[in-house]
Amino acid sequence: MAFSKRAVLVQKLLAADVRRNLLRAGITIGADVTFRGRPIVDRHPGSSITVADGVTVISDPRWTALGVARPTIIRTLTAHARVEIGRDSGLSGVTICSATSVSIGMRVLCGADVFIADTDFHPVDEIPRSGMPLPASNPSHSVTIEDDVFLGARTIVLKGVNIGHGSVIGAGSVVVTDIPPMSIAAGNPARVIRTVKTQ
Ligand SMILES: CC(C)(COP(=O)(O)OP(=O)(O)OC[C@H]1O[C@@H](n2cnc3c(N)ncnc32)[C@H](O)[C@@H]1OP(=O)(O)O)[C@@H](O)C(=O)NCCC(=O)NCCS
């Protein structure tokens, strides 16, 4: 993708402004974090959001081949929540919502419009659901995506899931159970289809 000098300069100014605003909002941002477009980041008081060195956050469809349907959105929903994005990972139009913990390892590639949540947002076994408070933090609902995972575009990762290091999740998959390391999994629900071939 080629950009004019002016577009690059505008993007640099915007990225500096994003960084300033996030630091002011109590988000921990490492060195050399690249922002393309303006993400939406909301930190619930008392919770933590950490973006490690070298992470790329894309929120503007012009800056990635596949485009993104929305800005990257990172939200903590309770005082106990924790979101960690590991070193050199990439987020393209990703939505992450945490009531407990969403931990993304190093060098994780999140394809366009991935959705990760560690809560159902609404009660499942109580009626009426409307107007009920958010379900409380629950450690068994934590989501962990280990180092070097590749999440295909529009993957959905739901509560309580651990995706082992080096694994790949096929585009459009819905991950509801743990995926072992170095596996390729796909579908709804995502199932292992083979292992990653290494030399
Ligand atoms: C998962 C993926 C890596 C597998 O690639 P592959 O190893 O070449 O697999 P194949 O195309 O040979 O497919 C193997 C089987 O998995 C199924 N499959 C592959 N991708 C699938 C997907 N996303 N959802 C459901 N099933 C899928 C195939 O239908 C095939 O099933 P079969 O054995 O019953 O015929 C690839 O299909 C994929 O989804 N890549 C993600 C691309 C992407 O989103 N990039 C992000 C850009 S931002």
* pLDDT tens, residue by residue, 116-128: 999 999 999 989 9
pLDDT given for residue 76 in this prediction: 97
**DSSP bridge partners of 115:** 95, 156
CA distance 172 to 185: 11
Q: Which of 175, 193, 198 to mutate to test the pocket of ligand 1 (most atoms within 8 A of CB)?
A: 193
53-69: average pLDDT: 95
Residue 192 CA, ligand 1 centroid: distance in Å: 11
Query: pLDDT above 70 covers what percent of the chain?
Result: 100
On the question of pLDDT at 199 being above 80, the answer is no
**pTM check: above 0.85:** yes
42-46: average pLDDT: 97
pLDDT given for residue 68 in this prediction: 97
pLDDT tens-digit profile of 130-188? 888 887 889 999 999 999 999 999 999 999 999 999 999 999 999 999 999 999 999 99
Please report, to the nearest 10 degrees, the dihedral formed by the alpha carbons of residues 105, 94, 41, 63 taken in order: 110
User: Which residues are CB-neighbours of 84 under 8 A, at least 6 positions away?
Assistant: 50, 52, 102, 103, 104
Cβ atoms of 156 and 110 within 8 Å: the answer is no
